[in-house]
Amino acid sequence: MPELPEVETIRRDLEREAVGKKIKTVDVTGTRTIRRHKTKKPFVERLTGTKILGVDRKGKYLLLRLDSGDVLVVHLGMSGQLLAAKNAKTPPPLKHTHVVLSYSTGGQLRFVDPRTFGEVFVTTPEALESEVPELAHLGFDAYEQVMSWVDFARLLRSKRTKLKPLLMDQKVIAGLGNIYSDEVLFEAGLRHDRTSDTLTAQEVRRLYRAMMDVLQEAIKHRGSSLADEQYRDLFGEVGGFQAFHRVYDREGQPCVRCRNPLVREKVGGRSTFYCAHCQV
């Protein structure tokens, strides 16, 4: 579900809602969610009594800095949600609530995840670099880390892969997933299957600018919620960027530029939407 704009929206919500709060108790029901820890005990003990100092984001990972020096890492997978609650009963906990942090002030932070592809774990900042390969090997952040066009061009030329898989490869660029890679490629006027080392300097700049523009707009509208409305922000509200999607989930609808019907294609098992006329 959640890609960079959705995770960034939740990060900003947490900054407002969770920072400064002390974790009084920790309840874990789904042990698959904390699978990096062998047992519940170390996870619960390392969190209990700590205070949340700040919230960072790396790609699609949320990093909650704790006053113990540890970091609470959250990845939402396909169906994860982080939800703020007034107390243990309000609102009533959803099915598939796997981890609940109760603050000393009475509120709660709940991790809900039906498909259990998401995960939560506690670690140290040092171990993040050395022992958590997915995080250590993340590429540059698609939104936060400014990269020069020259460097971006060099990065594209260093690979000989198709553009969409490249944009979605977290080791290269961190944060883009299936929705936003399609939206960025449409905005840039480039096909998903263009090989990355065939782009002209102008196309490289268009791609870079499209990535920045699409992500900025998506964050402004608090992310995308699809038909199932599974993506929710910290307060349970849906996002609004789906109304601005140009191609994603719009098979057969007219392209906003040329009015030709948009195409859907399976690429690497994932649905890919594009305009066969505008994207070259």
Partner DNA sequence: CGATCTACCTGATGGC
Partner DNA sequence: TGCCATCAGGTAGATC
Catalog residues that contact DNA under the rule CB under 7 A: 1-3, 32, 59-60, 75, 77-79, 95-96, 114-117, 133-134, 159-162, 165, 168, 170, 177-179, 195, 224-231, 242, 267-271
Choice between 5 and 46, CB closer to DNA: 5
Choice between 41 and 137, CB closer to DNA: 137
CA dihedral 176, 179, 181, 187 (to 10 degrees): -130
* DSSP for 193-204, written as a single string: TSBGGG--HHHH
Min CB(246)–DNA separation in Å: 14
Q: What is the 3-state secondary structure (H, E, C) of 89-144?
A: CCCCCCCCEEEEEEECCCCEEEEECCCCCCEEEEECHHHHHHCCHHHHCCCEECCC
Q: What is the 3-state secondary structure (H, E, C) of 212-230?
A: HHHHHHHHHCCCCCCCCCC
Strand partners, 63: 56, 73
Choice between 50 and 225, CB closer to DNA: 225
Out of 162, 205, 209, 270, the active site residue is 270
| HSE-up (13 A, CA, CB side) for residue 110 | 27
Min CB(50)–DNA separation in Å: 25
Give yes or no: 157 in active site: no
Min CB(97)–DNA separation in Å: 11
Q: How far apart are CA 199 and CA 27, in angstroms?
A: 51
Give yes or no: 91 in active site: no
Min CB(77)–DNA separation in Å: 5
- C-beta separation of 74 from 34 below 8 A: no
Choice between 62 and 72, CB closer to DNA: 62
Give yes or no: 38 in active site: no
Q: How far apart are CA 105 and CA 23, in angstroms?
A: 9
Choice between 168 and 188, CB closer to DNA: 168
- C-beta separation of 72 from 56 below 8 A: no
Residue given tokens 């984001």 in the structure block: 57
Choice between 49 and 165, CB closer to DNA: 165
Min CB(177)–DNA separation in Å: 2
Give yes or no: 115 in active site: no
Out of 2, 110, 222, 232, the active site residue is 2
Min CB(221)–DNA separation in Å: 13
Out of 11, 57, 60, 191, the active site residue is 60
Among all residues, which ones are annotated catalytic? 2-3, 60, 270
